[in-house]
Structure 1
């Protein structure tokens, strides 16, 4: 695999990349040795880690991280957490790298931040360390596909089938749309009533954006520049009846709860968790549009270039722990990324008691059938996703984003 192809990230979905990501002969691998900084099996001294979350992932994984730190003081002495939005991520990391001082050691991100960082060459490669990480065969099939999407630049730590779904209150929308055309007709008849957040910073918004080409029968769902003629036309028409695009998904949930929006884009997790937390009425309902495909989603650990070898070593040990079945069970959380675990054979019965109760009270039995009965599609690769976000911002809704 040539260095130029590695830099471009053009092999995110290719089989050749998967083969190249096989275990190296020695831990540390050729790439680390060629850089002249071997990564030890254990840090030479306990390290402190600065962890940045741009995906809301700490809700699922902070318990995993904190438990590892409490039991491995010889590896990690302290963890500091901070949060930012996905669109801020690449600029923040690049500024630190340009200054020669990388203060962020580990990033928890979705495909948006992953893609932006790959596009700008910001992330370290995990390729030399595959022998220290979970085998691809240990992942759920959908999570395997998401790991293939990341290639060597990220490690999948949580997974869910995502959406696109629509969410509404039955008392206010007694006859919800069943097709994409019906959703458009509803928006036209009820200006301002349909809402989704800016795709570059919203899982449901991003999933709707990537799901429409399947719903509309576009020429090439994987090519937003040349293959989405129907999708861009649909979004442009829908835009006529959208008053604003919130900058975060949580704002759309508030809009649904207070009645300023009647139908919002949603996903399995964004349906369950806000109802558990009382942010959205429990009676809120979900629907799928005829012919939909799931666009799967995952959260990743990525590591910026410039992080020391000792810190890389600690991160690898942390990841080993986070991807055990026992720790993965915590990813059920309260439905935020439902189901949540990326690893096989992690039933709900392994989850903490409060997670089991939340899913029992607020989960939906129909999800099992929806997941089994509709195709699973991976998101766009890095370059295509960046292109889709850029085109949406420029040509569809950027001027209406509520900042």
Structure 2
């Protein structure tokens, strides 16, 4: 769930042929929805790049691509899947080089990385071409990079066992009190191993920040402000003896959920999609519940798609973007991967509304700038465990 750092595309594009060659030699494999090789040269063929986990691969190959091709007879989508986005820097280098050279990049639509590509000026303007953008949630729109298109979201929630917890804490202050009153029954993963623990740490630090400082830390890198995290780090260090086994911090987002499944703990931060889908698969206790806290809430955000400005098939790519934001597809995304819809809940079926009733998907508080977040993780290691 963590964002990768943005690379200097201007330098990468200047490298030109070197970046392009590297990507062609080691980039993601191209497949159609049926798993065969695909070629994107035909007029009615689109190439979609996706750098994500296998659940997103399944969402596209089993649900979205077949649905779009059925609704648009004669259109064929070639799907380039890159597990965990391992080659995303190379792919973006290739796109930057092709854009600079006014060549077809061989990719038309980015399933994710729209925020990074938007910041690099690689996306075509969707204004007037994606009518359903008018229905996207304001928080997702406000956080969008230039010309990027939000199409799903997620956030960190407070997961808990209702038979053990009773009335769960609704705010951060209530949560901090609960942790100390119930030693050993709360855990969060170390922030450098997953976004759920990272969000918990950021949320505690945010408690002591002014609105102006928080906005500055969210939108840019300001190392001189990091001293304002000291009160938050002191609060986190003060929780050590109240953590699971008096200071054990699990490895990864799944680490805390495994403890919840075993009922070793009663409460933990968890990603909304992992929690909701985990209840269905048995990775999370079926009786477990989750809610969004307040003052401040845990962090969250959107996944941003984009149509490449260098693509020669922008009309078809914008049609795909608009189709993704229709209520039917938004409901399918929510059902398949428990992803937050990018549109208002009142446009979706009751089953979707009930699934996200306590998640507050309209409240997606952004996290710290990626460089500040990297510094925060290092400082947490120095100031919190064992102190």
TM range (shorter): 0.5 to 0.7
Q: Is 2:387 aligned against 1:393?
A: no
- The one of 108, 113, 118 equivalent to 2:111 is 108
The CA RMSD measured in Å over matched residues stands at: 4.4
Aligned CA distance change for structure 1 residues 313 and 115 (closer, same or farther; 3 Å): closer
User: Is the alpha carbon distance of 1:219 and 1:308 closer, same or farther for their aligned partners in structure 2, counting shifts above 3 Å?
Assistant: closer
Contact 2:187 2:249 (C-alpha < 8 Å) held by counterparts: no
Q: For 2:269, which of 265, 272, 284 is the aligned residue?
A: 265
Q: 189, 192, 215: which one pairs with 1:196?
A: 189
Q: Which residue of 2 aligns with 1:348?
A: 349
SS at match of 2:66: helix
Per the alignment, residue 78 of structure 1 pairs with 78
TM-score (norm 1): 0.63
TM-score (norm 2): 0.65
Q: 2:283 aligns with which of 266, 279, 282?
A: 279
Paired position in structure 1 for 2:122: 124
Contact 1:138 1:343 in 2 (8 A): yes
Alignment CA distance shift 1:228-1:359 (3 Å): same
Give the gaps of 5 or more residues in structure 1.
1-6, 9-42, 350-355
Residue 237 of structure 1: CA displacement? 5.0
Task: Give me the whole-angstrom Cα distance separating, in 2, the residues matched to 1:236 and 1:245.
Answer: 16
- Residue 17 of structure 1 corresponds to none
Match of 2:331 in 1: 329
Say whether 1:222 aligns with 2:191. Answer: no
The structural deviation recorded for 1:155 is: 0.4
Give the aligned partner of residue 152 of structure 2: 158
Question: Aligned to 1:51, which of 46, 49, 52?
Answer: 49
Structure 2: which 5+ runs fail to align?
1-6, 9-40, 99-103
Task: Count the aligned residue pairs.
Answer: 325
* Aligned equivalents of 2:231, 2:248: Cα separation in 1: 22
- Distance, in Å, in 1 between the alignment partners of 2:336 and 2:77 is 29
After superposition, give the CA deviation of every residue in 1:360-381 in whole Å (9 maximum; x if it has no partner).
Answer: 6xx475x2xx749xx935414x
The CA distance in 1 between the partners of 2:87 and 2:184, in whole Å, is 36
* Equivalent residue in structure 2 for 1:246, among 251, 254, 259: 251
> Alpha carbons of 1:261 and 1:292: their partners in 2 closer, same or farther (altered >3 Å)?
same
Could you tell me whether the CA contact under 8 Å between 1:50 and 1:106 is conserved in 2? yes
